[in-house]
Amino acid sequence: MNIDIIKDECKRQGISRIIKYDEPLNNHTSLRIGGSADIFCSPNNIEDLKKVVFISKEHNMPFRVMGNGTNLLILDGGIRGLVINLNKDFKKIEFSDKIIKVGAGVSLALLSKMALDRELSGLEFACAIPGALGGAIINNASFKGECMADVVQNVTFLTRENRIEKISKSNLNFNYRECNLKSESVIILEATLMLKKGNKEEIESKIKQNIEIRKTSQPLDKFSAGSIFKNPPGYYAGELIEKVGAKGLTRGKAEVSTRHANFIVNNGGASARDILYLIEEIEKRVTKNFGIKLEREIEIWGEP
């Protein structure tokens, strides 16, 4: 990939204003860790995005889409290729009675609050989930038995061939922490959600309860990427990690949280290598003691 050629192409397409080169990603992730992206792009609308995808395809340049940078570890060597972060038009919210059309870049916490203001129920579980809608759909974000699959009606996305397509809930095959778009090279643009009319006081009370549960059980006061591992069938990953003595384990400035063992926190100045060491150490211990291979929930991008 020739950066100078890419720069010239971006200039010809009129999108230089939304492009950054050699962009540090540590400030774009909730862990505050990671090297730089060769190219970082923040398209404001579908026209900008299509131009970016066209350039990516023409120059055989891989791309990744980053929302709020949660549930994500960027390795210290950074990312070769393009990182796309949806902006402006992709953060629109339109209400029509109980139906909401939501841009992929909208944060779940904001969406939950806006639903509360309109006395709509169904997104109380999302009030303290730090991610954006696109990633929440891809990973079927959930809390206390409620999940995105409960409210999503359809999803609109852009393909690698620059076609806009729509898929209904019945064809998304939602499962634990995933849907079938997860394995596809597509960019979610927006989704239609269906909520229910509710009582504002009851909705607000449930939101407060959910926030309190998270505050008392998760290290929200420290930099983290959320849960590191999925819960194996019949088990809680955090309990398994605690039972193998990994709770409180440290490496450099990284630590397996003493509040919730399925979280690894950055105490300030941790490297991706530190985080990765703890992840791998946990995996080894759980496999050795229980014969269980933990599946990672956190996504790991980039080069060491």
Say if domain 219-301 classifies as CATH 3.90.78.10: yes
Q: Is the pLDDT of residue 105 over 80?
A: yes
Q: Tell me: the pLDDT tens digits for 112-156?
A: 999 999 999 999 999 989 999 999 999 999 998 999 999 999 999
297 is an active site residue: yes
Q: Burial letters for 221-254: b for 16+ Cβ neighbours within 10 Å, e otherwise?
A: ebbbbbbbbbbeeeeebbebbbebebbebebebb
Q: Tell me: the pLDDT tens digits for 30-39?
A: 999 999 999 9
Domain ranges of the chain: 3-88, 92-216, 219-301
Active-site option among 124, 190, 255, 297: 297
80 is an active site residue: no
Percent share of the chain, pLDDT over 70: 100
**Confidence tier at 1 by pLDDT (50, 70, 90):** confident
Q: Tell me: the pLDDT tens digits for 72-101?
A: 999 999 999 999 999 999 999 999 999 999
**pLDDT of the residue at 59:** 93
Percent share of the chain, pLDDT over 90: 97
Helices 200-217 & 108-117, crossing angle to 10 degrees?
A: 150
295 is an active site residue: no
- pTM for the complete prediction? 0.93
**pLDDT of the residue at 185:** 87
Active-site option among 23, 32, 121, 177: 177
**Alpha-carbon gap, residue 74 to 77, rounded angstroms:** 8
**pLDDT of the residue at 75:** 98
Q: Is the pLDDT of residue 64 over 80?
A: yes
**Alpha-carbon gap, residue 32 to 268, rounded angstroms:** 9
**Interval 245-266 mean pLDDT:** 98
**Alpha-carbon gap, residue 285 to 292, rounded angstroms:** 9
Q: Tell me: the pLDDT tens digits for 229-242?
A: 999 999 999 999 99
**Confidence tier at 258 by pLDDT (50, 70, 90):** very high
Active-site option among 42, 56, 121, 227: 227
Report domain 3-88's class. alpha beta
Report domain 92-216's class. alpha beta
174 residue type, one letter: F
Q: Is the pLDDT of residue 183 over 90?
A: no
